[in-house]
A and B are shown apart, each in its own frame.
Chain A
Amino acid sequence: MADLPEYVIDRVFDAPLPLVWRAWTDPELLSRWYGPGVETIIHEYDLRPGGVWRNEMKWGENSDLSKMAFVEVVPEKKIVWHHSSTDKDWNIATNPMMPDWPKVLLTVVTFEEQAGKTRVRLTQTPMDASDAEIACFANMMAGMDKGWGSGFAIIEEILGELQA
């Protein structure tokens, strides 16, 4: 279990902790930044263990639904949830683009005050995942971190040459 692949993003925001916490936990604010370049609609947001965040992201004709089941909430310190893609009835679903993508990602977000700024660290690891799901996620992470070395650069070079 110690070797599960993990996605990590760690950022320091130049804002006091209470404000950052509000931006994460007030659905009106959350929908304004969550999801890259899409319209985000929060259908339900019940921030407590056992509560659920139902999220819809819309772009063009597309709509992408996901469900976050909160398991731990420590005000201004930590939020833990189970992150899943869902079908239109909010049932956990396989990603059609990537059938071996883990169905549930354990997501841990921690908040820490640092001299008037706020450090946010988010990690995602596959949960109750099959070997294939773990391998798929590990491949993705290997592609993203520097473990691939110049691998990614080579691929972009190849694609660039072909487009030229």
Chain B
Amino acid sequence: MEQSGYNTDSASLDAVFSALADPTRRAILLRLSDGEASVNEIAEPFEISQPAVSRHLKVLERAGLIERGIDEQRRPARLKAEPMSAAVDWLNEFSEFWETSFEQLDGLLTQLKQSELKDTDNG
């Protein structure tokens, strides 16, 4: 409704995390960061069949992480980085929330200890 503008993006953010959770799919993405490639070319270095690669590519495509060329024969896969950097940003935001807050708490405790010491000295 009022947030409908977000929904396509954010629904895919969940799909992005699922897609990235698999080591083969991450390796495929790494391969594609060198440039577009066909299923054959992608399957070559892996010990898995072309149909298996095709299945992984479908998952990546659904998550918006790659797009496939229209060329019926080759259908080269191409990396799309935006959803991945959105996922990484989100992940960093959550993990850094407490990490950074705890660092700030550490700094505050040091300040508080120093001011308590001063109070004791003066008193």
Contacts and interface: CB of A to CB of B under 8 A. Distances in A.
Nearest to A22: B112
Interface in B1-52: 3, 6-7, 10-11, 13-14, 17-18, 20-21, 23, 26-27, 29-30, 33-34
A23 to B, nearest CB: 6
A163 B96 CA distance: 23
A65 B99 CA distance: 20
Interface residues of A, number: 45
A158 B29 contact: yes
A15 B113 contact: yes
Interface string B81-123: 1001101101100111111111011111110110010000000
A36 B97 contact: yes
B60 interface: no
Contacts of B96: 36
Contacts of B17: 136, 139-140, 142-143
B77 interface: no
A33 B108 contact: yes
A156 interface: yes
B66 to A, nearest CB: 12
A94 B99 CA distance: 24
A96 B9 CA distance: 10
Q: Which of B23, B29, B91, B109 has the most CB of A within 10 A?
A: B109
A142 B23 CA distance: 12
